[in-house]
Amino acid sequence: MGSYHITVLKGDGIGPDVVTEAMGVLECVGKKYGHDFVFNEKLAGGCAYDAYGEPLPEETLEACKNGDAILLGAVGGPKWDHLPANLRPEAGALLKLRSSLGLYANLRPAIIHKALSDASPIKPEIIGDSLDILVVRELTGGIYFGERGYREGKHGEEAYDVEAYSEFEIKRIAVQAFEAAMKRNKHVTSIDKANVLESSKLWRRTVTEVAKDYPEVELDHMYVDNAAMQLVRNPKHFDVIVTSNIFGDIISDEASQITGSIGMLPSASLADGAFGMYEPIHGSAPDIAGQDKANPIATILSVAMMFRYSFQKPDEAAAIERAVDAVLAEGWRTPDIAGPGDVPIGTKKMGQLIREHI
């Protein structure tokens, strides 16, 4: 039994479509397992800019700080692309939420569901019928938040962005990765560019130091260029990947594409303690917004992560994941994951089927 306050940021584009289904799943799990959810809906992203002239109003940030967890749909769209960086939904809302709430650990699982194994663009003899990689991306440091600006250079104006990491920041993300690995296949691959970058040398040294506390976990280090290659050459090498903000941004997109179905992938952004923000990996897909075409599974699986990481309710999380697998095994598909012979179903129907299975 528990009562949870969830700040809901539906955001832009298909955000409202998919979050509505995920809220239905929360309520359904609540009924079955005896939990109560109080939803506090606020505006963030382009919709907030339209209403208040800023992508992350103070009221939204306050609500986020006061809740137990955040459920986010997606932010952004071409309508707001012309705005200066600090007013754009991506930097003005998403990056500000991450930094203001201390959400430094970004967990991005890239999983191939058995029923969808032929969706991967990688040859079957390489991928087999399953893949399960967890990317642990540092989310509040590095070049995303470093010193930046313009200055007069030798050849006129130049722009710069600084990649800086403290031992403290590296250590705490490494601990998250090793802890996750202990519950999985006990293998961490740390990705850096230590053959060139000072920040990566400190990264490698610090991760190696943290590894001493986890003698059961095998640690290997990989340069980011090689890792990009190994991910498509031999994806089964990887269990847990830990890496910096910018490398994690790139590598997690690559890992998600290997699964072939970005509409399926959830994510969690965690602070110290139990607080977290949960969102699908995909974007706001404005071209199909409000048309009952979006795949709600990534957001629904994000709710499963919420149960696991913020509420410490693994049974509830597993119930959601089982329901998703069952619906896929029965052959139900939204347009994004439909094969040639499939008759696709809509967002709402997919949500309803998953709830029925729970």
Q: Could you list the active site residues?
A: 144, 193, 225, 249, 253
Question: Is residue 249 a contact residue for ligand IPM (CB under 6 A)?
Answer: yes
- Let me know: does 281 contact 291? Beta carbons within 8 Å: no
Nearer to Mg ion, 239 or 249 (CB): 249
- The listed partner (ligand IPM, Mg ion, none) that binds 94, CB under 5 to 8 Å by sort, is ligand IPM
Question: Is residue 179 a contact residue for ligand IPM (CB under 6 A)?
Answer: no
Where is 105: in which H helix or E strand? strand 105-112
> Which span sits near ligand IPM by CB under 6 A: 88-96, 208-216, 236-244, 322-330?
88-96
Question: Is residue 90 a contact residue for ligand IPM (CB under 6 A)?
Answer: yes
The order of strands in the sheet holding 240-243 is 35-41, 2-11, 69-74, 276-280, 266-270, 105-112, 131-138, 240-243, 187-192, 218-223
Residue 232 Cβ, how far from Mg ion at the closest point, in Å?
Answer: 18
Q: What is the DSSP letter of 232?
A: H
Residue 27 Cβ, how far from ligand IPM at the closest point, in Å?
Answer: 27
Mention every residue, 6+ apart, whose C-beta is less than 8 A from residue 343.
none
CA angle 70, 71, 77 (to 5 degrees): 115
Residue 253 Cβ, how far from Mg ion at the closest point, in Å?
Answer: 5
User: What is the sign, positive or negative, of the torsion defined by CA atoms of 74, 77, 79, 85?
Assistant: positive
Please pick, from the candidates 94, 111, 240, 354, the single residue that binds ligand IPM as defined by CB under 6 A.
94
Nearer to Mg ion, 144 or 309 (CB): 144
- Let me know: does 183 contact 193? Beta carbons within 8 Å: no
Please pick, from the candidates 169, 192, 239, 249, the single residue that binds Mg ion as defined by CB under 5 A.
249
Nearer to Mg ion, 254 or 325 (CB): 254
Tell me, by CB under 6 A, how many residues bind ligand IPM: 4
Residue 246 Cβ, how far from Mg ion at the closest point, in Å?
Answer: 10
- CA–CA separation, 77 and 108 (whole Å): 22
